[in-house]
Amino acid sequence: MRASDINRVLDFVRDAFNEASRLWWRFFDWVAVVEWRQLLLTWFFVLVFFGLAGMDGAGIWYVFISAAVKVLAGGKRKAELMARDATAQANVATLERRLMEARMAALQAQVEPHFLFNTLALIGQLIETDPPQAARVHAHLIDYLRSTLPQMRQRGGATLGKQVELSRAYLAIMQARMKERLQVRFDVPDFLGSAPFPPMMLQTLIENAIKHGLEPKIAGGTVAVRAHVVGADLHVAVCDDGVGIDPHADDGVGLANIRERLQLLYGGDAALDITTPPAGGACATIRLPYKMMEAA
Amino acid sequence: MNPSLHGRPATALIADDEAPMRDLLRARLASVWPDLTIVAEAANGVEAVELGERHRPDIAFLDIRMPGLSGIEAAQRLYARSHIVFATAYDQYALDAFEQGALDYLLKPVSAERLATTCARLKARLSAPAPASASTSALAAPPQDIGRQLAQLTSLLEQRGKPDKPAYLRWIQAQVGANLRMVSTKEILFFQSDEKYTRVQTAGTEYLIRKTLKELLDELDPDEFWRIHRSTLVRVDAIAEVRRDLRGRQMLRVRGHTEELEVSRNHGYLFQQM
């Protein structure tokens, strides 16, 4: 025989074996869950049928095997099957709950009270000492709230350009507060402005960079936002040169929410990667399929 | 030394990481209490302690959230010599604690009226004659009282972030090129030991790390990851189902990955409810 024939035979044997084992387990599961009364009924029919066909042996074997399975493994297998059903139902329920939660969290106002109070305090102070600066910070705050509060969020805000604009407003406010402790760098080509990008993700990454990276650092540092196209993907990175990430610190609801929403929106085609460069600090990069325009 | 309004003007330190807030407080103090001399301004907690110890001001105005040391930590080093006044914009926990204790605090942005009340109280305390038996302290409450309250406040504020669980490992560090990739444990489906390395599997990627399974077992949250085999840790939330194969072994499947993981006999009890 040639090698291909041997392979064909092996394939056939494997298929036959798989099929036989599948049928066996189906039979096993059926025996495990079926009522004793019904099982006795099938014994009667099988014995009569094979008896008439002159194959008493087969009927007796059937009775013997099914009785043995029922007695020895039936209870346990039944419990397993019920547990599996329960798990499957629980999985569906969990998935639905996660979907709902992710949507809710994205919809809810993500303005931190701390940020709002501090900014209002700053404006109040600037009104007395530097009114033109007070007006600028005030305008930035309005821009920020307009795109952050769900009630105010306009449609069509889900482009990279809009998200960058919102982030600039936020960073301008933070610069007014942190002064020379916060430097900002944007490296986002104009042509990427129209690319679709989910709302509030860039914002969350920038807030994290400041809150966990730069605010705890006495000297402060730089937040750099960079967007570029790699192959068919759009990469948007937020990097800081702050204190880095404590491996024992919870990653918080912000990052978990971004991952969840990327998963819901793009399946496996998008990801959030966190790295710590050798020079220190932290980089968070969102990768998602690049499109030039929002679908109509 | 008995700081008194009668001998010399009172002195104060202002500590806030945000310059505009220092400017505001200085301006307000100048109009409410013109005699008060601001001897130093600090932009973080470390500086506050340093300047506080050097200048020994009568009063230290401390912002609570500052880099380096928090205002409360700084206060623990300074309260014996200086009267502490905290400042915060929004911090319900701290405010509740202040309301219960005898500590002074200001809400930012500091209003002129509130500051005037606080200053009047400070003046009264500073000019009150020190009890004959007491030390040279100018504080109304005994220092050990203030110290106890600060300690309570510190533990209160520390606990709030992480309620009752010890600090488990929440990020796995994996070398990817020149960078260290931080993989959140929430992304990880399972760990599998692979000779010298441990394989870390997420929905989309596989990483190899040098940490052994034993080390991971000690550092991870036992409610987050279960050991199902000598060489496998699986994320509990990711478990999809457990079934038996032809040889009667329990095989486990996780959401988001096709590989089946064997559950060893020793760990089979994990999946035998009912």
Same domain, A35 and A58: yes
Q: Would A161 be classed as within a structural domain?
A: yes
Chain B residues with CB inside 8 Å of A117's CB?
89-90, 108
Q: Would A138 be classed as within a structural domain?
A: yes
Name the residue among B27, B186, B240 with its Cβ closest to that of A129.
B27
Contact call for residues A202 and A161 (beta carbons, < 8 A) = no
Number of separate domains in chain A:
2
Same domain, A101 and A214: no
Same domain, A99 and A117: no
Same domain, A69 and A131: no
Distance CA A213, CA A227 (A): 20
Which of A58, A89, A107 corresponds to the end of one domain?
A: A107
Chain A residues with CB inside 8 Å of B29's CB?
none
Q: Would A296 be classed as within a structural domain?
A: no
Chain B residues with CB inside 8 Å of A129's CB?
20, 23-24, 27
Nearest CA in chain A to B175: A275
Interface test with B, best of A85, A177, A275, A288 (most B CBs within 10 A): A275
Q: Cβ atoms within 10 A of the Cβ of B39, count? A: 17
Q: Where are the beta strands (DSSP E) in chain B?
A: 11-15, 37-42, 59-63, 83-88, 104-107, 171-176, 179-184, 188-194, 197-202, 206-209, 225-229, 232-235, 239-244, 250-254, 260-263
* pLDDT of B254: 92
Q: Between chains, do A218 and B20 touch, taking CB under 8 Å as contact?
A: no
Q: Where are the beta strands (DSSP E) in A200-279?
A: 221-230, 233-240, 271-276
Place of tokens 């496996």: A268
Q: Where are the alpha helices (DSSP H) in A179-290?
A: 201-208, 252-266
Distance CA B250, CA B262 (A): 6
Same domain, A213 and A284: yes
Q: Provide the domain limits for residue A202.
A: 113-289
Name the residue among B67, B91, B171 with its Cβ closest to that of A218.
B67
Touching B: A residues 10-69, CB under 8 Å: 21
Record the pTM. 0.70
- Distance, in angstroms, between B172 CA and closest chain A CA? 7
Touching A: B residues 172-191, CB under 8 Å: 172-173, 176, 178-184, 186-187
Return per-residue pLDDT of chain B as tens, 274 residues: 444 445 678 999 999 998 888 988 998 899 999 999 999 999 999 999 999 999 999 999 999 888 988 888 898 899 888 898 988 876 666 676 676 666 788 887 788 888 999 999 899 888 875 544 444 444 455 566 777 777 777 776 666 544 455 688 999 999 988 888 999 998 899 999 988 889 999 988 899 999 999 899 999 999 999 999 999 999 999 998 888 888 888 899 998 888 899 998 888 778 875 4
- Distance, in angstroms, between A288 CA and closest chain B CA? 13
Are β-strands B197-202 and B188-194 bridged in parallel, bridged antiparallel, or unpaired? antiparallel
Can you state the angle between helices B19-32 and A113-129, rounded to 10 degrees?
Answer: 50
pLDDT tens, residue by residue, B106-129: 887 788 888 999 999 899 888 875
> Looking at domain B171-271, does it have CATH number 2.40.50.1020?
yes
Nearest CA in chain A to B43: A218
Locate B68 and state its tokens.
């380096």
DSSP state of B129: P
CATH class of segment(s) B11-161:
alpha beta
Same domain, A14 and A161: no
User: Which residues does B3 contact at the CB level (< 8 Å), separation at least 6?
Assistant: B10, B11, B58, B126, B138
Name the residue among B23, B89, B179 with its Cβ closest to that of A117.
B89
Same domain, A88 and A226: no
Touching B: A residues 234-263, CB under 8 Å: 245-251, 255-256, 259
Same domain, A194 and A237: yes
Distance CA A165, CA A147 (A): 10
Same domain, A154 and A239: yes
Domain ranges within chain B, ordered by starting residue = 11-161, 171-271
Name the residue among B27, B67, B179 with its Cβ closest to that of A277.
B179
Same domain, A128 and A70: no
Return per-residue pLDDT of chain A as tens, 296 residues: 577 788 888 888 888 988 898 888 888 888 877 788 888 888 888 888 888 887 778 888 888 888 888 887 777 777 777 777 777 777 766 766 666 666 666 655 467 777 888 888 888 888 888 899 999 999 999 988 887 776 555 566 688 998 999 899 999 999 998 989 999 999 999 999 999 998 888 999 999 999 899 988 999 999 999 999 999 999 999 999 999 888 888 777 788 888 888 888 888 899 999 999 888 899 999 999 999 877 65
Q: Does A271 contact chain B (CB < 8 Å)?
A: yes
Which of A63, A84, A107 corresponds to the end of one domain?
A: A107
Same domain, A272 and A149: yes
- Distance, in angstroms, between A49 CA and closest chain B CA? 31
Which of A107, A124, A143 corresponds to the end of one domain?
A: A107
Name the residue among A129, A177, A247 with its Cβ closest to that of B173.
A247
Q: Would A294 be classed as within a structural domain?
A: no
- Distance, in angstroms, between B268 CA and closest chain A CA? 12
DSSP state of B62: E
Chain A residues with CB inside 8 Å of B169's CB?
247-248
Strand order in the sheet with B37-42: B37-42, B11-15, B59-63, B83-88, B104-107
Same domain, A242 and A271: yes
